């Protein structure tokens, strides 16, 4: 999978650059947003939008969402390069969500460097992140692949539906880690993942299905594949945060004990709170809801997760969702090679080390 990602990432980045150039000028603004009522300030837009967005994009990220969309398009018999702007939609949205997410969580680091709100200020970060929610609508409106009106409308309606669900998931996540008394069940955590992370996965899959005019049952199956894979990814992401802290590495690109500092209710935490003895469970809850944590407290919290085998429990759940995702592909009419690659992605998202 790494070879596939390495091959496609520069292609995806070039396509994103046609949507949002590194260098903003008057001609781009007029082409994409229409003539100014009075006069644009390209330099201000450059510094407030393009510079911070490309600062984040250039830090890394594997672009796997865009690549999965391209593989699905190819697997359904379409020319993936003809639909590159559409494949960029979930990638643009993903990076927009993490900019806003970092502001909401008070995150310090993203991809190994200061989060955008620390580097550029929260006002610029929020505006840039929100702009990345709306830029995909311009892709649909400009209709670069000349989709028929019914298909164009279907892509728009799907995008609105999924983006609304994203904010349900984010709302649950924020409320839980800001309220110590909130009781979170495992099913509620999984629903949060299905909304917050699964939304982008479903956009990936549903875009490919809608563009290639697949029947509703095929769209449902590939959407379920992408949702389950995304849940596995989120659980794997939480595990990586803990394991990188245990190992004392910085390769994961986040601050030491990031999720514990933010008081996140991960699957590991939910399991530990129910499996630990009352004293340990109360101590874990106390650490998670302190405004600031020492390194010793973070280490103590992870020790509780280890003592209840919560890390391994979460890993088994991630593997189960990965398997479920592969099963959803079984009856989907895809090219065999692409189907195999898409199945491999379900393993990659939880076995990656960064």
For the chain, what are the domain ranges? 2-351
pLDDT for res 244: 86
Low-confidence ranges of the chain (pLDDT < 50): none
* pTM beyond 0.85: yes
Record: fold of 2-351? Farnesyl Diphosphate Synthase (1.10.600)
Listed residue (115, 223, 229) closest to 161, CA to CA: 223
* Phi, psi (deg, nearest 5) at residue 350: -110, -10
pLDDT for res 251: 52
Q: Is 215 exposed, middle or buried (0-12, 13-18, 19+ CB in 10 A)?
A: exposed
C-alpha span between 60 and 94 (Å, rounded): 13
Listed residue (245, 209, 176) closest to 328, CA to CA: 209
The tokens of 17 are what? 């650059």
């Amino acid at each position: 999978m790494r070879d596939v990602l390495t091959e496609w990432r520069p292609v995806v980045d070039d396509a994103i650059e046609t949507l949002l150039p590194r260098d903003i000028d008057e001609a781009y603004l007029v082409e994409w947003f229409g003539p100014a009522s009075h006069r644009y300030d390209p330099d201000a837009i450059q510094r407030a939008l393009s510079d911070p967005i490309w600062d984040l994009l250039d830090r890394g990220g594997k672009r796997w969402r865009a690549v999965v969309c391209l593989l699905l398009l190819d697997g359904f018999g379409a020319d993936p390069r003809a639909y590159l702007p559409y494949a960029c939609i979930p990638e643009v949205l993903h990076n927009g969500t993490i900019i806003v997410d970092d502001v909401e969580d008070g995150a310090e680091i993203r991809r190994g460097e200061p989060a955008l709100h620390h580097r550029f200020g929260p006002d610029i970060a929020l505006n840039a992140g929100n702009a990345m929610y709306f830029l995909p609508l311009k892709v649909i409106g400009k209709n670069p692949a000349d989709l028929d009106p019914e298909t164009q409308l279907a892509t728009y309606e799907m995008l609105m539906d999924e983006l609304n669900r994203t904010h349900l998931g984010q709302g649950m996540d924020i409320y839980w880690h800001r309220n110590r008394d909130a009781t979170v069940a495992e099913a509620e955590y999984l629903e949060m993942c299905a909304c917050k992370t699964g939304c982008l996965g479903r956009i990936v899959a549903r875009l490919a299905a809608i563009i290639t005019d697949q029947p509703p049952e095929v769209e449902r199956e590939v959407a379920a594949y992408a949702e389950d894979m995304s849940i596995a990814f989120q659980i794997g992401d939480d595990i990586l945060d803990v394991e990188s802290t245990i190992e004392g590495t910085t390769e994961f690109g986040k601050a030491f004990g990031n999720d514990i500092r933010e008081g996140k209710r991960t699957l590991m935490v939910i399991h530990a709170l129910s499996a630990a003895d009352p004293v340990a469970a109360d101590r874990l809850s106390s650490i998670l809801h302190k405004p600031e944590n020492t390194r010793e407290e973070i280490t103590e919290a992870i020790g509780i997760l280890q003592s209840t085998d919560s890390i391994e429990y979460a890993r088994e759940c991630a593997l189960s969702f990965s398997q479920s995702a592969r099963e959803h592909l079984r009856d989907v009419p895809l090219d065999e090679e692409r189907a195999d690659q898409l199945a491999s992605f379900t393993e990659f998202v939880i076995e990656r080390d960064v």
